[in-house]
Structure 1
Amino acid sequence: MSPQIDYVPETGSTNADLLARLLVNELVPEGYWLVADRQTAGRGRQGRSWIDAPGNFMGSTVVRLHDRDPSPGTLSFVAALAVYETVLPLLATPSALMLKWPNDVLLEGAKFCGLLLECERGHAVIGIGVNLAAAPQITDRKVRSLSDIGPAPARDAFASALAAQFATELQRWREFGAGPITNRWKAAAHKPGTPLSVHDGGGTALSGTYDGLTDDGALRLRLPDGTTHTVHAGDVTLEER
């Protein structure tokens, strides 16, 4: 079944719209996407805003959670891989694309994609924003768009390709479990031994080196004293050597 995509000229947040529908028990089928030309209250992780621009992709989809599904948190890897696989054929230099824990997709080392995973009433809502045509000016981090390094794809064509790829990755997640998904994610991510600084969910700042992932997708950070710290939520910065 082909994904269903509804396009709207403007909304506050596509994630908030889908969550509101679920809260009133509206049937939102798996495979449905809501895509906006403009968001006035786009949201990122940890309460950050997501700044849009004309021609960029901003959309959300719904996954119905089943008892036998892998951990819902690993859907962030599903979404990141869907973006990665959709963007990869568009690049003249595939090595310009890299994944960063927990759910970033980097283009030439800069953020160009945002992912937000939220759960409500037995469903996961996954919001994705991709800088196709333009990148916003952000003072505290490097950002890029696909148009910075080549022609930007048309938004609607990108939406169709991403929705199809997400459906493929979701089927693999259900059929084979989270292990193969996280293994593919690791192959496209920063390498073991990469210096990282992490602000975890409790506000603690730690520095060390990337030491892989746990079975449930948490980050393993090797500290300077040789011990390993497990991070389940937080912000990661790749440090310059």
Structure 2
Amino acid sequence: MAVGDRLSVHPDAGGGRGERRFGAVLIPPIERTQQTGSTNADLLARLARGEHVGEGHWLIADRQTAGRGRLGRPWGDGQGNFMGSTVVQLAAGDPSPATLALVVGVALAKVVKAFAPSVPLQLKWPNDLLVDGAKCSGILLERSGDAVVIGIGVNLVSAPDLPDRPTFTFASRGVAIDRDRFAKALAVALVEALRTWRREGVTRIVDAWLPLGHPVGTPLHVSEQGVDGTFDGLAPDGALRLRREGGEVMLIHAGDIELRRPLQEGN
């Protein structure tokens, strides 16, 4: 069964209080708060205090005043957007925690496609979701002991102005996505993707990620290493394969990459 095949977004799924099913799958617990600094920071603080935060527990906020992305980049609060965090409790025998970004990306892309089938989506390694090259969602993983806190932001209705990259909102395409229905679908999809990750391994997740990602041959720049090349797929462990000009392949296990447009003939 493909990752996320059981996802259902029927409007009656997961209805009122006490109805905990979304399609045929139990919905993980979703805690809501009107305003907070950062849902990731809140869950990390609970873990640091020794509180038990069960795997699959979600904290989502109507507003975030101190949201952030990778490398400490600020991320606007955007009321009406999806802003939430959840926890994965690592166990012996789990694949590398670093590959969780791919797991989340696969689950997120499949949910967004279900709600916005006409919008062309593309995953950018390791943790962004793009529409026509503009960022519409980001993923932030932060570890605390044997737990990984996963933060996800999706620009459903508004987007921050970023100095270094364009951004996209689904509302700009006339696509209205209800935040709470989206949250339920994402919670279920992530449970299923994590089950695949644990039972079938990273290779299965890589196979699901590749058709959703940037095509082989896409020009890339890796900021941390300051190197250029083209996308040559993913290694079985989820690392990015960067093909250099001379033909050699460099494995990138972590980093911030930029997608670059191919040079046009005559330019």
Q: How far did 1:140 drift? A: 1.8
Equivalences for residues 195-214 of structure 1 within 5 A: 195-200=219-224, 204-214=225-235
Shift of 1:232: 1.7
Count of paired positions: 237
Q: 2:63 aligns with which of 28, 31, 38?
A: 38
Paired residue for 1:160? 184
Tell me the CA shift for residue 108 of structure 1: 2.1
**Who is 1:135 aligned against?**
159
Contact 2:103 2:197 in 1 (8 A): yes
C-alpha distance in 2 between matches for 1:107 and 1:97: 5
Matched, 1:60 2:85: yes
Q: Distance in 1 between matches of 2:161 and 2:220?
A: 24
Whole-Å Cα distance in 2 between the matches of residues 230 and 58 of structure 1? 32
Q: Which has the larger radius of gyration?
A: 2
Q: Which of 116, 137, 142 is the matching residue for 1:118? A: 142
Q: List aligned pairs for 1:184-199, cutoff 5 A.
A: 184-199=208-223
> Residue 47 of structure 2: SS of its match in structure 1?
helix
Q: Which range is displaced more, 136-145 or 119-128?
A: 136-145
- Answering whether residue 77 of structure 2 is matched by residue 91 of structure 1, we say no
Work out whether 1:217 is the aligned partner of 2:217: no
- Spell out, residue by residue over 1:68-102, the C-alpha distance to the aligned partner (whole angstroms, 9 max, x if none): 111111111111111101110222425x1011111
What whole-Å deviation, never above 9, does each CA across 1:129-188 have from its counterpart, x for those lacking one? 000011122232110011111222111111111111111111111111111111110111
Match of 2:196 in 1: 172
1:214 deviates by: 2.0
SS of 1:27's equivalent in the other structure is: coil
- Name the CA distance, whole Å, in 1 between partners of 2:239 and 2:72: 20
What is the percentage of aligned positions where both structures have the same residue? 50
What corresponds to 1:69 in structure 2?
94
In the TM superposition, residue 64 of structure 1 has moved relative to its aligned partner by 0.6
**Residue 9 of structure 1: SS of its match in structure 2?**
strand
Q: For residues 31-60 of structure 1, what are the alpha-carbon distances to aligned partners after superposition, in whole Å with 9 as ceiling and x for unaligned?
A: 100001111111111111111211000000
Partner deviation per Cα, 1:222-241 (whole Å, 9 max, x = no partner): 11111112212211111111
Structure 1 segments (4+ residues) deviating >4 Å: none
Q: Equivalent residue for 1:49?
A: 74
The CA distance in 2 between the partners of 1:37 and 1:11, in whole Å, is 8
Q: SS in structure 2 opposite 1:10?
A: strand
Preserved CA contact (<8 Å) 2:27 2:184 = no
RMSD (CA atoms): 1.2
What's the counterpart of residue 12 of structure 1? Answer: 37
Select 1:107's aligned residue among 113, 126, 131: 131
How high is the TM-score relative to the length of structure 2? 0.86
Rounded Cα–Cα distance in structure 1 between residues aligned with 2:200 and 2:164 = 39
